[in-house]
Amino acid sequence: MKRLVILLVVASIGLLKTSFAQEEIVKWYSMEDALELNKIEQRKIFIDVYTDWCGWCKKMDASTFTNPAIAKILNEEYYAVKFDAETNDTINFGGKLFINEGGKSRSPHQLAVALLQGKMSYPSVAYLNEQNQLLTSVPGYYTADKLEPILMFFAEDAFISNTFEDYQKSFKSEINTN
């Protein structure tokens, strides 16, 4: 009986630990909030450039961004921004006002065009350094295990002295792909 109680306690602790780890969610900011926060505590900015009609964007939201390891990296190393590439909001970025000039559906916002350097593909991620300067944008859908090394490549400033290919060779993942 005592052994059974111990096993149940161990099992319940394991379940609690698993449940708690899976509850880590990405804290998403608006572009304006991320820029303001960056004045107080500098971090890189991760910008998920998406559209409401993009199926792969929704898949990344449902699977990639819900992964606890990805959420942890984004919350600790970046200010994570969800940016609708077709928003009609006026956004002040770097002292310049960006708008959506299009009057029709699927018109890209000027800031989306700038962040993606005119290569309008969704989903895409733009990475900014601590001074809010564009490092690069990366188009396409990524699973958590494929996104993790990219996130850390920029978070650790490995891009300064390494190629991504070299970085990947020694990268140790925190994601269980079993």
Share the mean pLDDT of the chain: 88
Provide the pLDDT for residue 23: 65
Provide the pLDDT for residue 129: 98
Instruction: Please state, in angstroms and rounded to a whole number, the distance separating the CA atoms of residues 75 and 5.
Output: 37
Domain 25-170 has CATH 3.40.30.10: yes
Residue-wise pLDDT tens digits, 37-54: 999 999 999 999 999 999
Provide the pLDDT for residue 57: 97
Task: For residue 85, give the 3-state DSSP assignment.
Answer: coil
Instruction: Please state, in angstroms and rounded to a whole number, the distance separating the CA atoms of residues 31 and 62.
Output: 21
Query: What are the helix (H) ranges across the chain?
Result: 2-22, 31-40, 55-59, 68-77, 110-115, 144-155, 164-170
Q: pTM score, two decimals?
A: 0.84
Domain ranges of the chain: 25-170
Question: 147: closest CA among 48, 34, 7?
Answer: 48
Residues lower than pLDDT 70 in the chain: 1-23, 103, 177-178
Contacts of 41 (CB under 8 A, 6+ apart): none
Residue-wise pLDDT tens digits, 68-85: 999 999 999 999 999 999
Question: 74: closest CA among 39, 119, 25?
Answer: 25
CA distances from 89 to 3, 69, 86, 112 (A): 62, 32, 9, 12
Q: List the structure tokens of 21.
A: 């780890």
